[in-house]
Structure 1
């Protein structure tokens, strides 16, 4: 029996009671180079205590971005981190990372409202970048020799830093909505086993 796909039902009297899930929070996406993240990391490393004062509720920071205490811990191993950085060098589509930009207006010197500017999705990928930038991760060059960031010349660094890594963002002070959005980001994501890979 063959099924014919129709984008819309011709029957105007179709059931209008059925409703499918809706977007929890409105998301916007911008195309930014990795250099934007590198600048944020540089700023964080110069004065990490200032970040801790601004985000006292943060469990940790990744690339200088606060991470909420209710998010999972870092789970990627060195192999997964290396594959991601190699993908950046190879020009693969990196997807996007998701940040909550919401914050209450705070006076000068006051801490940001809880969950402001938190990283909701992309923690493993951003942590891989941080490990690489801090020379804690070596990636094979074209000759197969492992190289850390500090060994690479400025021409190649500029190429890496100009790679687009899209930033998506929401804006909400509703922690339940943020938690639900976070849970949706990870839903159904399972690492491919060796036999599932297209290139073996």
Structure 2
């Protein structure tokens, strides 16, 4: 291994010997405001029974999206959820959430095949939004007073809902590939210890 950076190797034959991991599934990226997520969730709240019929295999729903049984549960604590909502207010980069666009009718009835339209990654962040919109989560305002969603005026609500939260999408009925993609999303995500934080 050389200590001097080279953009490309001098020897083209090296390309034949080493191959790095390949993408499991092609991904499409869209930049939507949180308001788009909210509209999807509001529709779900009105039609919960329809969602239950369509996705009977779902472990749960988060912001109206079915979550597969093989995904981890809702695990963020109150502090983690509040920090995410504060990050939205502060204009921080929210990362992205990942869904599967693929949908296929099941063999019988009104149900869709398993893994149709699932939320693959972003469950903790989307659940935090859900809890905030339901007034189950308070975050500090500019004067450090805890506030829930229903206490906010429309100007502040519009500002929050206009925040961009990127959606990444794949489209596959291959559960093995979806599971591998799910596992890759979690690699390297380790909470920082107090000593590792930039602000203490």
- Interval containing the TM-score (normalised by the shorter chain): over 0.9
1:37 is the counterpart of 2:65: no
Instruction: Tell me the equivalent position of 1:12.
Output: 12
Q: C-alpha distance in 2, partners of 1:132/1:74?
A: 15
Instruction: Tell me the equivalent position of 2:145.
Output: 145
Instruction: Tell me the equivalent position of 2:179.
Output: 179
Compute the TM-score of the two structures, normalised by the length of structure 2. 0.95
C-alpha displacement of 1:188: 1.5
Q: C-alpha distance in 1, partners of 2:70/2:11?
A: 46
SS at match of 1:85: helix
Asked whether the equivalents of residues 105 and 111 of structure 2 are also in contact (C-alpha less than 8 Å), the reply is no
Q: More displaced, 49-58 or 85-94?
A: 49-58
C-alpha displacement of 1:131: 0.3
Q: C-alpha distance in 2, partners of 1:11/1:17?
A: 11
* Stretches of structure 2 lacking an aligned partner (at least 5 in a row): none
Q: More displaced, 11-20 or 189-198?
A: 11-20
Q: C-alpha distance in 2, partners of 1:14/1:38?
A: 50
Q: C-alpha distance in 1, partners of 2:49/2:5?
A: 58
Instruction: Tell me the equivalent position of 2:91.
Output: 91
C-alpha displacement of 1:143: 0.6
Asked whether the equivalents of residues 29 and 168 of structure 2 are also in contact (C-alpha less than 8 Å), the reply is yes
Instruction: Tell me the equivalent position of 2:110.
Output: 110
Instruction: Tell me the equivalent position of 2:127.
Output: 127
Instruction: Tell me the equivalent position of 1:136.
Output: 136
Q: C-alpha distance in 2, partners of 1:115/1:13?
A: 42
> What is the root-mean-square deviation in Å for CA atoms of aligned residues?
1.5
* Stretches of structure 1 lacking an aligned partner (at least 5 in a row): none
C-alpha displacement of 1:12: 2.5
Compute the TM-score of the two structures, normalised by the length of structure 1. 0.95
4+ residue segments displaced more than 3 Å: none
State the number of aligned residues. Answer: 198
Q: C-alpha distance in 1, partners of 2:69/2:63?
A: 16
C-alpha displacement of 1:105: 5.2
Q: C-alpha distance in 2, partners of 1:143/1:180?
A: 44
Q: More displaced, 110-119 or 71-80?
A: 110-119
Instruction: Tell me the equivalent position of 1:156.
Output: 156
Q: C-alpha distance in 2, partners of 1:96/1:84?
A: 13
Q: C-alpha distance in 2, partners of 1:70/1:155?
A: 40
SS at match of 2:94: coil
Q: C-alpha distance in 2, partners of 1:47/1:178?
A: 27
1:198 is the counterpart of 2:184: no
